[in-house]
């Protein structure tokens, strides 16, 4: 497996040096308010990155192993903010909890829990933000905190998608944002992120200050890197966490199959990001990690060394148009024919189970990063089962980034209906749209979201009426 390198640690340390002054207090004196049997710590004075916060992010292995999946290990209040600067007026906590990796070994995971001030929500959304990075200081739990420097050092996706989480809060919903890449920042490892996400919902449901009922209606939302996890969680839910009342999942820009993504993206503009995902997979799948460590050529080894500690902005910008397949020297010639590579592609391909919840899927056609073909195949696979409920929309005037923005309001409207108990249209449907942003109801929602977001910048409590 590709290990953390000395350079990676230096990059991470440099990125957070400005916050390393003063008391780094994740272990402050506990408040009296319990979360089950776990005390809630007061908000730390400084937003300390995970690399310097091992007590919270990496509790002792024996402590983790002694918990059930989803059981909380530690909890603390936090202050959240837009881009680390502008505070958000919501109730906010972070929890460390037990989850499992893809080998069913216990791991510690972290999620950020949010709700409108003083509320007792009866609905919750698990928002899988696209972390798309290879260092812990890029994680959502750090990037959304006030005085975090994650945005300044390359985590540009989390603050943008955090606005979508605020739109969810504005509906009065509770929101849980898992660090779904896990303790080793395994970008691309969807089955791992699925477990962390489902256990994050369990932790949020059982966290007393959230004031959620055991049968709280739950939705899931994710785009691109977040859809990797959302899709796998939708498929895994019925066997891993059947007790969760998940009533719908909305996902867009869906990386349903990494094989075509790598074939099409090799040597193209997005190859820097694709290589980051390849390295991330090596952290969760040991044989694949060993293959990378052994068979990457000198250029690949150098890139792996540097990329291993970078957030999404710099990982994507570092050597676009690279011939990634040419860097991997395997006996088969084409890495896609190597049995270890094929096994990882199979493990991470969606479509192994039909989700037992309604699905809303939206996708650009064409999408320069994530090809539409595998998404069409995924929908067809689901819809062979007469029990599947899938609404699939392809947008023809967008591309990967603009379609996220364009489709977000339509996806949220669909999710709102599911959370409100509005019956879904039974069966499967596929439709084509020019621009999803032209949906009148979506435009109304976006206008309201924009106004509420502006008001929140001036201290208005989010989600209150």
Round the average pLDDT of the chain to a whole number and report it.
Answer: 91
DSSP 224: T
Please check whether residue 68 lies inside any domain of the structure. yes
Mean pLDDT of 218-236: 98
Hey, what's the torsion of the CAs at 69, 73, 79, 81, to 10 degrees? Answer: -30
Residue 289, in any domain of the structure: no
pLDDT above 70 coverage of the chain, percent: 92
Report CA torsion sign: 223, 225, 226, 228: positive
Q: What is the mean pLDDT of residues 26-35?
A: 39
Q: What is the CATH number of the domain that holds 106?
A: 3.40.50.1820
pLDDT interval class at 463 (50, 70, 90) = confident
Read off the pLDDT of residues 245-303 as tens digits, 9 standing for 90 and up: 999 999 999 999 999 999 999 999 999 999 999 999 999 999 999 999 999 999 999 99
Q: Is the pLDDT of residue 422 over 50?
A: yes
Q: Does 198 reside within a domain? A: yes
- Domain encompassing residue 186: 6-257+348-457
**End-to-end Cα separation, the chain, in angstroms:** 51
Q: Of 94, 168, 180, nearest to 132 (Cα)?
A: 180
Closest CA to 128 of 118, 137, 140: 140
Cα-Cα-Cα-Cα dihedral sign, residues 215, 140, 184, 77: negative
Examine residue 389 and state whether it is found in any structural domain, yes or no: yes
Q: Tell me, yes or no, whether 417 lies in a domain.
A: yes
CB 355 within 8 A of CB 235: yes
Residue pair 315/133 in contact (Cβ under 8 Å)? The answer is yes
Does residue 337 fall inside a structural domain?
no
Q: How confident is the model at residue 67 (pLDDT cuts 50, 70, 90)?
A: very high
CA-based radius of gyration for the chain: 21
Whether 79 shows a pLDDT value over 70: the answer reads yes
pLDDT at res. 11: 39
- Region 328-347: mean pLDDT is 95
Q: How far apart are CA 245 and CA 427, in angstroms?
A: 20
> Of all residues in the chain, what percent carry a pLDDT higher than 90?
84
Rounded Cα distance, 166 and 148, in Å: 18
Q: What is the mean pLDDT of residues 138-143?
A: 98
The pLDDT-based confidence of 465 (bands split at 50, 70, 90) is low
Q: How many domains does the chain have?
A: 1
Asked, for residue 297, whether it belongs to a domain, the answer is: no
Q: What is the model's pLDDT at position 456?
A: 83
For residue 375, what are its two tokens?
């998404």
pLDDT of 230 > 70? The answer is yes
Confidence of residue 19 (pLDDT cuts 50, 70, 90): very low
Q: What number of other Cβ atoms are within 10 A of residue 335's Cβ?
A: 21
Query: C-alpha angle with apex 432: 430 to 433, nearest 5 degrees?
Result: 140
Of the candidates 445, 464, 455, the residue with the CA atom closest to the CA atom of residue 164: 445
Evaluate whether residue 161 is within a structural domain.
yes
Residue 363 in this model has a pLDDT that exceeds 80: yes
| 252, β-bridge pairs | 223, 362
Q: H/E element holding 72? A: strand 72-77
Contact between residue 279 and residue 133 where contact means Cβ atoms under 8 Å apart: no
Average pLDDT for 301-327? 95
Looking at residue 287, what is its pLDDT? Answer: 98
User: How many Å apart are CA 11 and CA 23, to the nearest integer?
Assistant: 22
Question: 446 falls in which pLDDT band (50, 70, 90)?
Answer: confident
pLDDT at residue 450 above 50? yes
Stretch among 10-24, 305-319, 416-430 having the lowest mean pLDDT: 10-24
């Amino acid at each position: 497996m590709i290990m953390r390198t000395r350079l990676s640690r230096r990059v991470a340390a440099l990125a957070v040096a400005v916050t390393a002054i003063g008391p780094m207090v994740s272990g402050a004196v506990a408040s009296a308010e319990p979360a089950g049997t776990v005390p809630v710590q007061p908000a730390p004075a400084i937003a300390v990155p995970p690399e310097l916060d091992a007590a919270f992010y990496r509790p002792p292995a024996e402590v983790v192993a002694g918990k059930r999946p989803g059981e909380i290990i530690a909890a603390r209040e936090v202050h959240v903010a837009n881009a680390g600067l502008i505070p958000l007026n919501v109730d906010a906590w972070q929890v460390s909890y037990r989850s499992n990796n893809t080998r069913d070994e216990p791991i510690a995971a972290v999620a950020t829990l949010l709700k409108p001030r003083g509320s007792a929500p009866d609905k919750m959304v698990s928002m899988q933000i696209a972390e798309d990075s290879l260092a812990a200081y890029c994680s959502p739990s750090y990037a959304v905190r006030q005085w975090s420097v994650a945005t300044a050092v390359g985590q540009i996706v989390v603050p943008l998608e955090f606005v979508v989480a605020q739109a969810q809060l504005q509906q009065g919903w509770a929101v849980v944002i898992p660090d779904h890449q896990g303790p080793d920042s395994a970008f691309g490892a969807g089955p791992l992120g699925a477990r962390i996400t489902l256990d994050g919902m369990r932790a949020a449901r059982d966290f007393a200050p959230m004031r959620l009922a055991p049968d709280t209606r739950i939705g899931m939302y994710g785009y691109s890197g977040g859809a990797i996890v959302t899709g796998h969680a939708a498929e895994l839910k019925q066997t891993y966490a059947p007790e969760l009342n998940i009533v719908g999942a909305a996902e867009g820009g869906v990386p349903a199959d990494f094989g075509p993504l790598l074939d099409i993206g090799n040597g193209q503009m997005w190859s820097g990001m694709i290589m980051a995902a390849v390295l991330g997979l090596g952290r969760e799948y040991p044989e694949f990690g060993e293959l990378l460590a052994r068979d990457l050529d000198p250029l690949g080894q150098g890139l792996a060394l540097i990329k291993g500690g970078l957030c999404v902005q710099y990982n994507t910008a570092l050597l676009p148009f690279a011939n990634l397949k040419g860097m991997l020297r395997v006996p088969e010639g084409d890495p896609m024919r190597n049995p270890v590579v094929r096994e990882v592609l199979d493990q991470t391909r969606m479509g192994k189970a039909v989700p037992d919840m309604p699905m809303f899927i939206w996708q650009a056609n064409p999408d320069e990063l994530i090809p539409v073909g595998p998404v069409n195949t995924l929908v067809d696979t689901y819809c062979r089962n007469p029990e599947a409920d899938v609404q699939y929309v392809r947008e023809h005037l967008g591309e990967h980034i603009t379609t996220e923005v364009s489709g977000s309001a339509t996806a949220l409207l669909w999710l709102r209906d599911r959370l409100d108990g509005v019956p879904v249209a039974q069966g499967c449907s596929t439709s084509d749209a020019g621009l999803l942003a032209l949906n009148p109801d979506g435009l109304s929602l976006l206008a309201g979201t924009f106004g509420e977001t502006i008001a929140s910048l001036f201290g208005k409590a989010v989600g209150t009426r």
